[in-house]
Structure 1
Amino acid sequence: MKSGYIGAAVNRVDGYLKVRGEAKYAAEYQAEQLCYGVVVSSSIAKGKIKTLDASKALALDGVLQVFSHENRTSLPWFDRSYKDEDQPPGSPFRPFYSNEIQFNMQPIALVVAESFELARYAATLIDVEYKAVDFNADFLNSQEKAYEAKKGKSGWKPPKSRGNASKALKHADVLVEATYFHPAEHHNPLELHASTVVVEADDTFTVYDKTQGVFNSQQYLMNIFGLSKAEVHVKAPYIGGAFGSGLRPQYQLFMAFMAAKALKRSVRVVLTRQQMFSFGHRPMTTQQLSLAASSKGKLVGIKHEAIAETSQFEEYTENVVNWSGMLYDCPDVDLSYKLLKLDTYTPLDMRAPGGATGVYAFEAAIDELACKAGVDPLQFRLLNYAEQEQNEKLPFSSKELKACYAIAADKFGWARRNPIPGQLREGDNLLGVGMATGVWEAQQQQVMAKAKLSPDGQLVVSCGTADIGTGTYTVMSQIAAETLGLPIEDVSFLLGDSDLPMAPLQGGSWTASSVGPAVLSVCEGLKEKLLKEAAGLPHSGFKGAKVEEVLFKDGMLCLKGDPSVQLSIAALMKQRNLAILEHQTASMPDPKQSQYGKYTHSAVFVEVKVDAELGNVQVSRVVVAVAAGRILNPKTARSQVLGGVVWGISMALEEESVMDKQYGRFINHDLAEYHVAVNADVHDIEVIFVEEEDDVINPLGVKGLGEIGIVGVPAAISNAIYNATGKRLRALPFTLDKLLE
Structure 2
Amino acid sequence: MAIGQPINRVEARDKVTGAARYTADAWLPGMACAALVGSAVSAGRVRAIDTTAAEAAPGVLAVMTHLNRPQWHSTPTALRYQETRFPLADVHIHHHGQYLAMVIAGTREQAAHAADLVAVDYETRPPVPTLDAALPDAHAPVWRFEPEFPTALALNDPDGKLMASDVRLDLEYRTPYNSHAPMEPHATLAHWDGDFLTVYTTSQHVHGDRPIIAGALGVPLERVRVISSLVGGAFGNKTTVWGHTLLAAAASRQVGRPVQLVVTRKQVFTCHGHQPPIIQRLRVGANRDGTLQAIIHHTINGTPVLFDRPEAAISPTGTVYAVRSIGVRVEVASMHMPTPATMRTPGDGPGMFAVGSALDELSYQLDMDPVELRRRNHLTAHPLERKPWSGKQLLECYDEGAHRFGWDRRAPGPRMMRDGRDWVGFGMSSAQRLEHHGPARAAVEIRDDGTAEVRTSTQEIGTGNLTTLTQVAADGTGIEPGRIGFRSGDTTLPESSPTYGSRTTGSTGTAVHLAAERVRQVAIRLAVSDPHSPLHGLPAERIAAARGRLYDVDGPHRGETYRDLLRRNGRRAIVEQGFHDPASRDPRYSYATFGAHFTEVRIDDTLRRVRVTRHVAVFAIGRVLNPKTARNQAQGGIIYAMGGALMENLATDPLTGRFIAPALTDYHVPVNADIGDIDVSFIEQPDYNAHPLGAKGLGEVVAVGVHASIANAVYHAIGIRVRDLPITPDKLTPKPS
Per the shorter chain, which TM-score range?
over 0.9
Matches within 5 A, 1:142-181: 142-149=134-141, 151=143, 153=145, 156-159=148-151, 160-181=153-174
Q: Does 1:131 align with 2:123?
A: yes
Deviation at 1:314, TM superposition (A): 2.5
Task: Give the alignment partner of residue 719 of structure 2, picking from 719, 726, 734.
Answer: 726
Match of 1:281 in 2: 274
Match of 1:666 in 2: 659
Q: Does 1:513 align with 2:510?
A: no
Match of 2:237 in 1: 245
Looking at structure 1, the residues matched to 306 and 531 of structure 2 have their Cα atoms a distance apart, in angstroms, of 69
Whichever residue aligns with residue 68 of structure 1, its letter is T
Match of 1:535 in 2: 528
Looking at structure 2, the residues matched to 412 and 70 of structure 1 have their Cα atoms a distance apart, in angstroms, of 62
SS at match of 2:132: coil
Deviation at 1:391, TM superposition (A): 3.1
Q: Residues 594 and 278 of structure 1: is their aligned pair in 2 closer, same or farther, counting only changes over 3 Å?
A: farther
Matches within 5 A, 1:441-480: 441-480=434-473
Match of 1:493 in 2: 486
Looking at structure 2, the residues matched to 640 and 544 of structure 1 have their Cα atoms a distance apart, in angstroms, of 46
Task: Give the alignment partner of residue 187 of structure 2, picking from 183, 191, 194.
Answer: 194
Looking at structure 1, the residues matched to 184 and 145 of structure 2 have their Cα atoms a distance apart, in angstroms, of 26
Match of 1:607 in 2: 600
Matches within 5 A, 1:323-722: 323-538=316-531, 540=533, 542-543=535-536, 545-722=538-715
Deviation at 1:669, TM superposition (A): 0.6
Looking at structure 2, the residues matched to 233 and 170 of structure 1 have their Cα atoms a distance apart, in angstroms, of 59
Match of 1:310 in 2: 303
Deviation at 1:164, TM superposition (A): 1.8
Deviation at 1:63, TM superposition (A): 0.8
Whichever residue aligns with residue 27 of structure 1, its letter is A
Whichever residue aligns with residue 49 of structure 1, its letter is V
Aligned residues of 1:527 and 1:547 also touching (Cα < 8 A): no
TM-score if structure 1 supplies the norm length? 0.96
TM-score if structure 2 supplies the norm length? 0.97
Partner deviation per Cα, 1:394-438 (whole Å, 9 max, x = no partner): 101110001000011011010110012112222221111000001
SS at match of 1:606: strand
Looking at structure 2, the residues matched to 615 and 563 of structure 1 have their Cα atoms a distance apart, in angstroms, of 66
Aligned residues of 2:305 and 2:334 also touching (Cα < 8 A): yes
Looking at structure 2, the residues matched to 298 and 310 of structure 1 have their Cα atoms a distance apart, in angstroms, of 36
Whichever residue aligns with residue 87 of structure 2, its letter is P
Looking at structure 1, the residues matched to 342 and 565 of structure 2 have their Cα atoms a distance apart, in angstroms, of 49
SS at match of 1:345: coil
Looking at structure 1, the residues matched to 716 and 96 of structure 2 have their Cα atoms a distance apart, in angstroms, of 42
SS at match of 2:703: coil
Looking at structure 1, the residues matched to 279 and 147 of structure 2 have their Cα atoms a distance apart, in angstroms, of 21
Q: Residues 735 and 154 of structure 1: is their aligned pair in 2 closer, same or farther, counting only changes over 3 Å?
A: farther
Partner deviation per Cα, 1:627-661 (whole Å, 9 max, x = no partner): 10000000000011001110111111001111113
Aligned residues of 2:76 and 2:85 also touching (Cα < 8 A): no
Partner deviation per Cα, 1:287-319 (whole Å, 9 max, x = no partner): 001111111211112111111121122222332
Looking at structure 2, the residues matched to 595 and 689 of structure 1 have their Cα atoms a distance apart, in angstroms, of 25
Looking at structure 1, the residues matched to 137 and 488 of structure 2 have their Cα atoms a distance apart, in angstroms, of 45
SS at match of 2:316: helix
Looking at structure 2, the residues matched to 380 and 544 of structure 1 have their Cα atoms a distance apart, in angstroms, of 62
Aligned residues of 1:57 and 1:123 also touching (Cα < 8 A): yes
Looking at structure 1, the residues matched to 458 and 541 of structure 2 have their Cα atoms a distance apart, in angstroms, of 29
Looking at structure 1, the residues matched to 556 and 54 of structure 2 have their Cα atoms a distance apart, in angstroms, of 77
Q: Does 1:257 align with 2:254?
A: no
Match of 1:236 in 2: 228
Task: Give the alignment partner of residue 118 of structure 1, picking from 91, 107, 110.
Answer: 110
Bigger Cα displacement from structure 2, 151-160 vs 177-186: 151-160
Whichever residue aligns with residue 54 of structure 1, its letter is T
Bigger Cα displacement from structure 2, 599-608 vs 543-552: 543-552
Q: Residues 591 and 13 of structure 1: is their aligned pair in 2 closer, same or farther, counting only changes over 3 Å?
A: closer
SS at match of 1:227: coil
Equivalent pairs: percent with the same residue?
Answer: 32
Bigger Cα displacement from structure 2, 417-426 vs 553-562: 553-562
Looking at structure 2, the residues matched to 319 and 392 of structure 1 have their Cα atoms a distance apart, in angstroms, of 18
Deviation at 1:708, TM superposition (A): 1.1
Q: Which runs of 5+ in 2 are unaligned?
A: none
Looking at structure 2, the residues matched to 720 and 708 of structure 1 have their Cα atoms a distance apart, in angstroms, of 20
How many residues align? The count is: 732
Looking at structure 2, the residues matched to 533 and 493 of structure 1 have their Cα atoms a distance apart, in angstroms, of 25
Task: Give the alignment partner of residue 76 of structure 1, picking from 73, 77, 83.
Answer: 73
Matches within 5 A, 1:207-218: 207-218=199-210
Whichever residue aligns with residue 402 of structure 2, its letter is A
Deviation at 1:175, TM superposition (A): 1.7
Looking at structure 1, the residues matched to 561 and 707 of structure 2 have their Cα atoms a distance apart, in angstroms, of 54
Task: Give the alignment partner of residue 61 of structure 1, picking from 50, 58, 61.
Answer: 58
Deviation at 1:76, TM superposition (A): 2.1
Looking at structure 1, the residues matched to 264 and 539 of structure 2 have their Cα atoms a distance apart, in angstroms, of 58
Looking at structure 2, the residues matched to 422 and 87 of structure 1 have their Cα atoms a distance apart, in angstroms, of 44
Bigger Cα displacement from structure 2, 146-155 vs 558-567: 146-155
Aligned residues of 1:459 and 1:492 also touching (Cα < 8 A): yes
Q: Residues 672 and 415 of structure 1: is their aligned pair in 2 closer, same or farther, counting only changes over 3 Å?
A: same
Aligned residues of 1:401 and 1:603 also touching (Cα < 8 A): yes
Looking at structure 2, the residues matched to 516 and 393 of structure 1 have their Cα atoms a distance apart, in angstroms, of 28
Aligned residues of 1:322 and 1:335 also touching (Cα < 8 A): no
Aligned residues of 2:497 and 2:507 also touching (Cα < 8 A): no
Aligned residues of 1:289 and 1:365 also touching (Cα < 8 A): yes
Aligned residues of 2:444 and 2:577 also touching (Cα < 8 A): yes
Deviation at 1:694, TM superposition (A): 1.1
Q: Residues 128 and 721 of structure 1: is their aligned pair in 2 closer, same or farther, counting only changes over 3 Å?
A: same
Looking at structure 1, the residues matched to 529 and 385 of structure 2 have their Cα atoms a distance apart, in angstroms, of 52
Whichever residue aligns with residue 497 of structure 2, its letter is P
Aligned residues of 1:328 and 1:390 also touching (Cα < 8 A): no
Q: Does 1:101 align with 2:98?
A: no
Looking at structure 1, the residues matched to 142 and 37 of structure 2 have their Cα atoms a distance apart, in angstroms, of 36
Looking at structure 2, the residues matched to 229 and 395 of structure 1 have their Cα atoms a distance apart, in angstroms, of 42
Deviation at 1:590, TM superposition (A): 3.8
Partner deviation per Cα, 1:144-186 (whole Å, 9 max, x = no partner): 3212235354662115321122222222222221100010111
Match of 1:51 in 2: 48
Bigger Cα displacement from structure 2, 601-610 vs 289-298: 289-298
Bigger Cα displacement from structure 2, 224-233 vs 334-343: 224-233
Deviation at 1:539, TM superposition (A): 5.5
Deviation at 1:10, TM superposition (A): 0.6
Deviation at 1:594, TM superposition (A): 3.7
Whichever residue aligns with residue 330 of structure 2, its letter is Y
Bigger Cα displacement from structure 2, 384-393 vs 438-447: 384-393
Deviation at 1:549, TM superposition (A): 2.2
Whichever residue aligns with residue 50 of structure 2, its letter is D
Bigger Cα displacement from structure 2, 188-197 vs 687-696: 687-696
Looking at structure 2, the residues matched to 544 and 587 of structure 1 have their Cα atoms a distance apart, in angstroms, of 32
Q: Residues 376 and 701 of structure 1: is their aligned pair in 2 closer, same or farther, counting only changes over 3 Å?
A: same
Whichever residue aligns with residue 362 of structure 1, its letter is V
Q: Residues 153 and 468 of structure 1: is their aligned pair in 2 closer, same or farther, counting only changes over 3 Å?
A: farther
Q: Does 1:24 align with 2:21?
A: yes
Looking at structure 2, the residues matched to 683 and 574 of structure 1 have their Cα atoms a distance apart, in angstroms, of 55
Bigger Cα displacement from structure 2, 401-410 vs 276-285: 276-285
Deviation at 1:564, TM superposition (A): 4.2
Whichever residue aligns with residue 211 of structure 1, its letter is S
